[in-house]
Chains A and B, each alone.
Chain A
Amino acid sequence: DAGVIQSPRHEVTEMGQEVTLRCKPISGHDYLFWYRQTMMRGLELLIYFNNNVPIDDSGMPEDRFSAKMPNASFSTLKIQPSEPRDSAVYFCASSQDRGLSGTSTDTQYFGPGTRLTVL
């Protein structure tokens, strides 16, 4: 499997511009997660989806952030307008649904991340 794919890998933009980050989860995975990582705050969960439906967006910092998952193989995280404090590495991760058997299928697999710099 190709693993979780993210694009772009690096993004440099100016304050006020719209930024769109993209993610393709591992095929067959039911859950998709967006995280943000900074030195100060560590790895923070922003939002996650189950079967393309947003389940918990309590980590989304403010209305400037939005995420969509139009189908099982694609998700976007959009920041509009972007601000310098949004500079971070944004990771997408995916996992399978935890089966009734109780086996460990809830492991999250991370993509390579997008390093966002807002000037």
Chain B
Amino acid sequence: QKEVEQNSGPLSVPEGAIASLNCTYSDRGSQSFFWYRQYSGKSPELIMSIYSNGDKEDGRFTAQLNKASQYVSLLIRDSQPSDSATYLCAVNMEGNFNKFYFGSGTKLNVKP
């Protein structure tokens, strides 16, 4: 079992819809959770970080964390074609805030 699991997609949504991206992790002691966006041929860039159970909103993005169920999700409201990218979930390993495991990423396509 991989440390971080994501559906590889592609996830296709129409412009203006809500895109929902999910991630599960295996290390119950993980405390730091991140969503990175990666455009084709570019480097990962941070979108959201979340550390506590519940929701965290930043503009059109909402990260949701449920430590009991060991999943973290990212909602993108009013999806735009420019949101089309691969979204990587990253989770730290227990006891080490600085060592991350990355999921394989979910490719999102937002259709105009």
Q: Are B43 and A106 in contact (CB under 8 A)?
A: no
Taking the complex as formed, is A17 at the interface, i.e. its CB lies under 8 A from any CB of chain B? no
Contacts of B51 in A (CB 8 A): 104
Q: Tell which of A42, A45, A91 touches B99, judged by Cβ atoms closer than 8 Å.
A: A45
- Which listed segment binds A: B16-24, B69-77, B101-109? B101-109
Q: Which of A42, A44, A48, A95 has most B Cβ within 10 Å?
A: A42
Query: How many Å lie between the Cα of A19 and that of B100 in the bound state?
Result: 26
* Min CB gap A34→B, angstroms: 13
Q: Are B44 and A43 in contact (CB under 8 A)?
A: yes
Closest Cβ neighbor of B50 among chain A residues: A104
Q: Which of B1-58 contact A (CB under 8 A)?
A: 32, 34, 36, 42-46, 49, 51
Contacts of A25 in B (CB 8 A): none
Q: Are A108 and B100 in contact (CB under 8 A)?
A: yes
Chain A, residues 102-118, CB within 8 Å of chain B (1/0): the string is: 00101111111100000
Query: How many Å lie between the Cα of A44 and that of B90 in the bound state?
Result: 11
Size of chain B's interface in residues, with CB distance under 8 A? 22
Q: Are B49 and A43 in contact (CB under 8 A)?
A: no
Q: Are A112 and B32 in contact (CB under 8 A)?
A: no
Closest Cβ neighbor of B92 among chain A residues: A106
Taking the complex as formed, is B65 at the interface, i.e. its CB lies under 8 A from any CB of chain A? no
Query: How many Å lie between the Cα of A50 and that of B99 in the bound state?
Result: 11
- Known contacts A108-B46, A112-B43; 17 additional CB pairs below 8 A are A31-B98, A42-B105, A43-B44, A43-B88, A43-B102, A44-B102, A45-B100, A48-B99, A104-B32, A104-B51, A106-B97, A106-B98, A107-B34, A108-B90, A108-B100, A110-B43, A113-B43
